[in-house]
Amino acid sequence: MPIATLKQVLGEAKKKKYAVGGFNVNNMEQIQAIMLAAQKTKSPVILQASKGALAYTNLVYIKHLVLAALEENSNLPIVMHLDHGDSLETVKKAIGLGFSSVMIDASNKSFRKNVELTKKVVKYAHGFGVSVEAELGTLGGIEEHVKGAVKLTDPKQAIDFVDKTGIDALAVAIGTSHGAYKFKKTPKLALELVKEIAKNVNIPLVMHGSSSIPLNLRQQINRYGGKMPNAKGVPISSIQKAIKYGISKVNVDSDSRMAITATIRKVFKKHPEKFDPREYLGPAREEMTKLIASKMRAFKTAGHAKDYRVVSLKETKKRYR
Ligand SMILES: [Zn+2]
């Protein structure tokens, strides 16, 4: 590697019963934090950018930041994944930038329309050797443009969906939710449903909306002038059970945002004289590195980078021309 497809990485994960975090990135510090954590724990990595991240970074910046990550980490398999692609156009844009994996999320459409669009994306993406993740069922919560009421994945429909579309990974709705204000109480996930879908569907399963909303980070944010209401995330223990039952990719975004915000708030409050961005972005990056490393250990990704065949950087760069 370093560039790997989602199919390769999740195929390994599924076989060995661990999961790989899908960590969202928008800037240099987040990419560095994830890569540092991956180096520390010797983990395969999925860097993922949403449509919003592509817009925020003006496309070309995210491309070169990822290239930098590839160049700096030639010993690690790295998947560059589009999170929640909403159309064939967005998918084409991502593949044009060199992404090795895309998600098409048409889960808010009818089953027939979801199949129709997903199939088109699969046909296009597979032509470039790019993997496709799609979603069936709908998660609750709000994250950027993703809104909706909960509808758990129907296991019978899942078989049909995978058959008809030819996707490489299936995002399932099992009671998790996007964003930082997911639940008032600790959620109960539909773990039996994971088991049932995994039994019937022969591709890796993905859970979205899986931030844990750590209490210490929320408290730190509020202690230093922030205002995050009481909310619960998905406990690590539930995620670990879901992994045991067949989940191979776990998406995390809010927790990274919280680690960064909690750290920056603390620096600002304790050292109001500081104004050099390195003095707050540096510590923020360090906190995010710790957080991501702990997830890599909890998801049992740690130590698995060595399972992959490493290809030359030149090969990798061909994709990024
Ligand atoms: Zn998501």
83-125 pLDDT tens trace: 999 999 999 999 999 999 999 999 999 999 999 999 999 999 9
Model pLDDT for residues 228-276, shown as the tens digit of each residue:
988 889 999 999 999 999 999 999 999 999 999 999 999 999 999 999 9
In Å, how far are 73, 108, 162, 172 from 111, measured between CA atoms?
A: 40, 9, 12, 14
**CA-to-CA separations, 241 to 9, 18, 102, 164, 233, in angstroms, rounded:** 20, 11, 26, 29, 15
Q: Ligand 1: distance of its center to the CA of 91 in Å?
A: 16
Please give the C-alpha separations between residue 82 and each of 11, 62, 216, in angstroms, as whole numbers.
18, 11, 30
| Tokens (6 digits) for 298 | 């909890």
For ligand 1, the distance from its centroid to the CA atom of residue 232, given in whole angstroms, is: 17
Q: Which residue has the tokens 């591709």?
A: 203
Q: Does domain 3-313 have CATH number 2.40.30.30?
A: no
Ion ligand 1 neighbours (CB, 5 A) are 208
Question: Which of residues 49 and 317 earns the better pLDDT score?
Answer: 49
223 Cα: distance to centroid of ligand 1 (angstroms): 29
Q: Is 163 a catalytic residue?
A: no
In whole angstroms, give the CA distance from residue 40 to residue 129.
29
Marked catalytic residue, from 83, 86, 253, 255: 83
Q: How far is the CA of 279 from the centre of ligand 1 (A)?
A: 31
Q: How does strand 101-104 pair with strand 140-141?
A: unpaired
Mean pLDDT across 309-315: 66
Which among 14, 85, 30 has a CA at the least distance from the CA of 54?
Answer: 85
